[in-house]
């Protein structure tokens, strides 16, 4: 009988794509995706950006403990961001003795060897745990050789830069993902071409900060604008998206490259985090609200129909009621098509975690007000779509809506429209008939 695997993915798109690499490695070893059955190997691809992510993972690891009691030869692996935090290897050793493999963010290539070692040691009935969390420097070479089982057709994720050098004072990412490492441009273009040859219709370039792509290579040519120009002119019918951006590094060249390519979507995720200059400074973000407004203006001037989304945080330790009002005011002025809103969560080892914290009730009230405001704006902007026709890529069958598929406009708006599984991967002109808060409903023309 086939050996089965299950990858549990938490966190960002970077992790979603890394799970495709984990699946690639496991399938090469002969494992098959388990679906709803209890697998022979679980891989937890973890996140630690907020406390809620960690709680969720530990809860699910507890469930696996029970499953493993009935399936003694099951292998449990915990990989990625969470494992990289100070003290977590000791924690995983002591509190989760049934975890067999622990691999850090730059050690995925060792998964095969780790499984082999676990199986060998079991034959000898030896107690064994494979652990490796070294921030290796030659990561790009090993990573390039990992097979990928893509799971998000018609979209293909393509990494362009790993790690982060920014050290925003609230953020754990630079500690768990290490310093920036950019992939060479030709390796990226080759991968994009392969995906397009295989029939993928949308490419999403990934990085913690795509705008600093190439800085570490220091060759005078490799930068994000040039990469966009190169990928954006490949002669296929496809869409190009990218995430995530940092306002301090977004340049005019990038905006020009976006505006001049018909393949690059008029859509940008530009996290602002806060609308208060004082809080932005305390967060070590290196821009002001005025600078942010000027970026929005530049983007809208170049692409009047651009969809702009954001990440916004409330409850940063130094955020006063005035500062929060500045955030609300910025949100009213920018009019994001959508925003991810977060309550600040202290992360051990980051500068902001050592500051005096704001009571939870205040954070909760602020996030409530922010969500209410953004929902109102999202709804108003959705109404503007009604009656018009947009090119939409059918991305999947619509969950819970029989006879419908879902996809997005170039600006990133979610649209549900009549269709079947066979439509997935095809572009359609869709007339929008109705809007319901963030999603739109339409009909193929």
Regarding 166 and contact with ligand SF4 (CB under 6 A), the answer is yes
* Residue 340 interacting with ligand SF4 (CB under 6 A): no
Q: What mask, x for binding ligand 5AD by CB under 6 A, covers residues 171 to 190?
A: x-------------------
Q: Which residue number, 256 or 311, has a Cβ lying nearer to ligand SF4?
A: 311
Give me 168's structure tokens. 């925003």
Instruction: Find which of ligand SF4, ligand 5AD, none residue 313 binds, CB within 5 to 8 Å per kind.
Output: ligand 5AD
Tell me the residue number closest to ligand 5AD, measured at CB. Answer: 311
Cβ at position 188, least distance to ligand 5AD in Å: 22
Give the bridge partners for 431, in sequence order.
389, 443
Question: How many residues in the shown chain lie near ligand 5AD by CB under 6 A?
Answer: 12
Estimate to the nearest angstrom the gap between the alpha carbon of 304 and the chain centroid.
26
208, interface contact from ligand SF4, ligand 5AD, none, CB < 5-8 Å by kind:
ligand SF4
Measured from the CB atom, the residue of 29 and 135 that comes closer to ligand SF4 is 135
Strand order across the 202-206 sheet: 155-159, 202-206, 239-243
Burial call 123-134: b when 16+ CB within 10 Å, e when fewer: eeeeeebbbbbe
Of 31, 139, 162, 170, which one interacts with ligand 5AD (CB under 6 A)? 170
Residues 353-392 within binding reach of ligand 5AD (CB under 6 A): none
Could you tell me which stretch among 21-29, 82-90, 120-128, 170-178 binds ligand SF4 (CB under 6 A)?
170-178
Q: Which is nearer to ligand 5AD, 89 or 311 (CB)?
A: 311
Cβ atoms within 10 Å, residue 155: 22
Give the shortest CB-141-to-ligand 5AD separation in angstroms: 28
Q: What angle do CA 198, 204, 206 make, to 5 degrees?
A: 125
Q: Which of 38, 67, 174, 259 binds ligand SF4 (CB under 6 A)?
A: 174
Kindly tell me which residue out of 22, 148, 173, 352 binds ligand SF4, with binding defined by CB under 6 A. Answer: 173
How far is the C-alpha of 190 from the C-alpha of 194, rounded, in Å?
6
Is 222 strand, coil or helix?
A: coil
CB of 285 to ligand SF4, least distance (A): 8
The distance from CA 3 to its chain's CA centroid, rounded to whole angstroms, is 29
Residue 337, judged by CB atoms within 10 A of its CB (0-12, 13-18, 19+), counts as buried
Looking only at residues 296 through 355 of this chain, which bind ligand 5AD when binding is defined by CB under 6 A?
Answer: 311, 313, 342, 344-345, 347
CB of 248 to ligand SF4, least distance (A): 9
- Among 165, 170, 175, residue whose Cα is nearest residue 353: 170
| CB of 51 or CB of 433, closer to ligand 5AD | 51
What is d(CA 201, CA 307) in angstroms, rounded to the nearest whole number? 20
**Residue 271 binding ligand 5AD, by CB under 6 A:** yes
Q: Name the binder of 169 from ligand SF4, ligand 5AD, none, CB < 5-8 A by kind.
A: none
Q: What is the per-residue binding string for ligand 5AD in 16-55, x denoting contact by CB under 6 A?
A: ---------------------------------xx-----
Structure token pair of residue 360 = 């939870």
101 is an interface residue for ligand SF4 by CB under 6 A? no
Q: Give the integer Cα–Cα distance in Å for 61 and 74.
A: 13
In whole angstroms, what is the distance from residue 430 CA to residue 248 CA? Answer: 36
By beta-carbon proximity to ligand 5AD, the closer residue of 13 and 226 is 13
Q: Give 411's Cβ-side CA count (13 Å radius).
A: 22
How far from 168 is each of 171, 248, 321, CA to CA, in Å?
6, 12, 22
- Shortest Cβ 159–ligand SF4 spacing (Å): 14
- Say if CB 442 and CB 432 are below 8 A apart: yes
Shortest Å, Cβ 342 to ligand 5AD: 4
Contact stretch for ligand SF4 (CB under 6 A) within 161-169, 253-261, 341-349, 411-419: 161-169
Task: Map tokens 């296929």 to a residue.
Answer: 236
Pick from 422, 381, 388, 386: nearest CA to 405: 422
Report if residue 171 touches ligand SF4, rule: CB under 6 A: yes
* Long-range CB contacts for residues 422-425, cutoff 8 Å, separation at least 24: 423/394, 424/153, 424/154, 424/394, 424/395, 424/396, 424/397, 425/153, 425/154, 425/199, 425/201, 425/393, 425/394
Choice between 208 and 382, CB closer to ligand SF4: 208
Write down the H helix ranges in 150-235.
Answer: 173-177, 185-197, 224-232
Site string for ligand SF4, 209-228 (x = CB under 6 A): x-------------------
Binding site for ligand SF4 (CB under 6 A): 164, 166-168, 171, 173-174, 208-209, 246
Binding site for ligand 5AD (CB under 6 A): 49-50, 170-171, 271, 273, 311, 313, 342, 344-345, 347
């Amino acid at each position: 009988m086939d050996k089965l695997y299950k990858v549990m993915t938490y966190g960002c798109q970077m992790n979603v794509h890394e799970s495709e690499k984990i699946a690639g490695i496991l399938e090469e070893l002969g494992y098959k995706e388990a679906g709803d059955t209890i697998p022979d190997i679980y891989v937890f691809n973890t996140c630690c950006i907020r406390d809620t992510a960690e709680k969720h993972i530990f809860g699910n690891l507890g469930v696996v403990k029970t499953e493993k009691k009935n399936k003694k030869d099951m292998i449990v692996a915990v990989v990625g961001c969470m494992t990289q935090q100070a003290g977590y290897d000791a924690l995983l050793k002591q509190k989760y003795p049934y975890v067999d493999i622990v691999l850090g963010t730059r050690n995925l290539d060792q998964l095969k060897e780790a499984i082999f070692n676990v199986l060998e040691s079991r034959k000898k009935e030896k107690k064994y745990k494979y652990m490796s969390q070294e921030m290796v420097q030659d990561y790009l070479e090993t990573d390039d050789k990992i097979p990928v089982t893509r799971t998000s057709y018609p979209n293909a994720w393509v990494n362009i830069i790993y790690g982060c050098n920014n050290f925003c004072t609230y953020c754990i990412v630079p500690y768990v993902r290490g310093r920036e490492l950019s992939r060479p441009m030709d390796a990226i273009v080759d991968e994009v071409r392969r995906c397009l040859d295989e029939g993928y219709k949308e490419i999403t370039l990934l990085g913690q900060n795509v705008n600093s792509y190439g800085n570490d290579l220091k060759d005078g040519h490799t930068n994000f604008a040039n990469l966009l120009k190169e990928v954006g002119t490949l002669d296929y019918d496809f869409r190009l998206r990218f995430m995530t951006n940092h306002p301090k590094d977004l340049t005019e060249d990038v905006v020009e490259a976006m505006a001049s390519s018909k393949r690059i979507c008029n859509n940008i995720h530009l996290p602002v985090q806060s609308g208060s200059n004082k809080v932005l400074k305390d967060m070590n973000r290196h821009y002001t609200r005025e600078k942010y407004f000027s970026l929005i203006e530049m983007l809208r001037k170049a692409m009047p129909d651009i969809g702009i989304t954001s990440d916004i945080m409330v409850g940063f330790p130094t955020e006063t009621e005035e500062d929060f009002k500045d955030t609300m005011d910025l949100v009213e002025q920018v009019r994001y098509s959508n925003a991810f809103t977060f309550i600040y969560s202290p992360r051990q080892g980051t500068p902001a975690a050592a500051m005096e914290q704001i009571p939870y009730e205040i954070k909760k009230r602020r996030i409530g007000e922010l969500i209410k405001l953004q929902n109102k704006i999202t709804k108003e902007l959705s109404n503007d779509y009604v009656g018009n026709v947009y090119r939409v890529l059918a991305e999947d069958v619509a969950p819970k809506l029989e006879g419908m598929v879902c996809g997005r406009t170039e600006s990133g708006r979610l649209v549900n429209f009549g269709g079947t599984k066979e439509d997935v991967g095809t572009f359609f002109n869709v007339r929008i008939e109705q809007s319901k808060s963030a999603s739109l409903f339409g009909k193929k023309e």
